[in-house]
Structure 1
Amino acid sequence: MTNCNLTWHDAVITKDERRSKQQHSSCTLWFTGLSGSGKSTLANALSAKLFEKGIKEYVLDGDNIRHGLNADLGFTEKDRTENIRRIGEVAKLFVDSGTIVVTAFISPFSADRDCVREQFASNEFFEIFIDCPLAECEKRDPKKLYEKARRGEIKNFTGIDSPYEPPKHPDLTIRSDRLSVEEAITEILSFLQQQQIIKEL
């Protein structure tokens, strides 16, 4: 609900001015996929590569955000939706600052991801599906979460007793069970160049 006593104040420095000075555009790369699919690993590897090239970047990671900004949220469907809504708003601020922001969230529901996309201008939001079969994610299980979920110690766990809705039309799909980290990053960088977010590295 909008408070009628609030007034939007435009920034003195515009998004386009920030982009022009930095000589690259800004956008949100929304990594979605099952737990253990490699979202955080790829997000941080991409971040490191962009940083190395002098490109303004930042990673918003699901677990980290729940330690602070979203510490009050659980894992019910309602709380998951609010979790994604808040992240979308934070990502918008980063894009406005001229930053390439990489988000690593399971974000299991298509409707929630679509709602976030609608908040961005054209060519500012890209849904990247980190596609990895459930069996492989369970095999990796770096945090032993699947193991706990199978024992009933974790409720509403995506892929076990809570659904994951894969993107029907992602902007990019990365098969993390078939590509090395280096190969995946090469594909993502190539995509960013095609979208004219960054220049050729």
Structure 2
Amino acid sequence: MLNNKNVVWHDHRVSKEDRLKLKHQKPCILWFTGLSGSGKSTIANAVEAKLYELKKHTYLLDGDNIRIGLNKGLTFSDEDRVENIRRIGEVSKFFIDAGIIVLTAFISPFKKDRDMARDLVDGDEFVEIFVDAPLEICEQRDPKGLYKKARTGKIKKFTGISSPYERPEKAELHIKTDQMDIEESVDIIMKYLERKGY
């Protein structure tokens, strides 16, 4: 096992400030959280497209895509969910250091894990976006058929059914996708980013 005393942070000649000057933007993590089927990935994709139109440097980390590669092998146990989000938080921190606006679309059901990700960066570099839809609406949408499998016992520990989702208490943005369409949701987020100087 590697002794942590042998691991030393190596400073870079090009600083975070240098990268920010080059990109002419303020980096942040747009952390989309909510139940499966609430619209996280859809809205995150639409927001990234808008930012791209504005010539902003972005990258979208999506739950399923990350589990195919970086987090391949992690299960949906509580312990592995914590590790999944820990890794995403650390990767997102690198993107912030690179001067990128990073969008993350993860259920991230546990408040302490979202707080952990928030604590990795400066206070104004983390924007929690609660993509909220009632469970019954998410089940009606069920784009991947996961709720049906969870209800029949084929998926254990499924968030909202057999595993809890801890709703954000102080999210910077609260998007209710049962009450507004994608365009309205994106507009709220973009206006917030403009107002805050991102």
1:127: which partner in 2?
128
Matched AA of 1:147: K
Shift of 1:181: 0.8
2:80: which partner in 1?
79
Shift of 1:122: 2.0
Ranges in structure 1 where 5+ consecutive residues have no aligned partner: none
Cα deviations across residues 56-87 of structure 1 (Å, max 9, x unaligned)? 00100000000011112101110000000000
Shift of 1:2: 7.1
Task: Answer 1 or 2: which has greater helix percent.
Answer: 2
Matched AA of 2:16: K
Matched AA of 1:154: I
Aligned pairs for 1:122-201 (under 5 A) are: 122-197=123-198
Aligned pairs for 1:101-120 (under 5 A) are: 101-120=102-121
Cα distance change of structure 1 residues 2 and 32 upon mapping to structure 2, 3 Å threshold: farther
Give distance in 2, aligned partners of 1:2 and 1:90.
22
Matched AA of 1:16: E
Cα deviations across residues 132-191 of structure 1 (Å, max 9, x unaligned)? 110100010010100110010000000000000000111111111111111111110111
Give distance in 2, aligned partners of 1:178 and 1:35.
17
Matched AA of 2:49: A
User: Does residue 98 of the first structure (1) align with residue 99 of the second (2)?
Assistant: yes
Count matched residues: 197
Ranges in structure 2 where 5+ consecutive residues have no aligned partner: none
Give distance in 2, aligned partners of 1:189 and 1:18.
23
2:14: which partner in 1?
13
Cα distance change of structure 1 residues 73 and 57 upon mapping to structure 2, 3 Å threshold: same
- Root-mean-square deviation (CA), in Å? 1.1
| TM-score, normalising length: structure 2 | 0.97
Give distance in 2, aligned partners of 1:158 and 1:2.
37
1:38: which partner in 2?
39
The sequence identity of aligned pairs, in percent, is 54
Which SS does the other structure have where 2:6 is aligned? coil
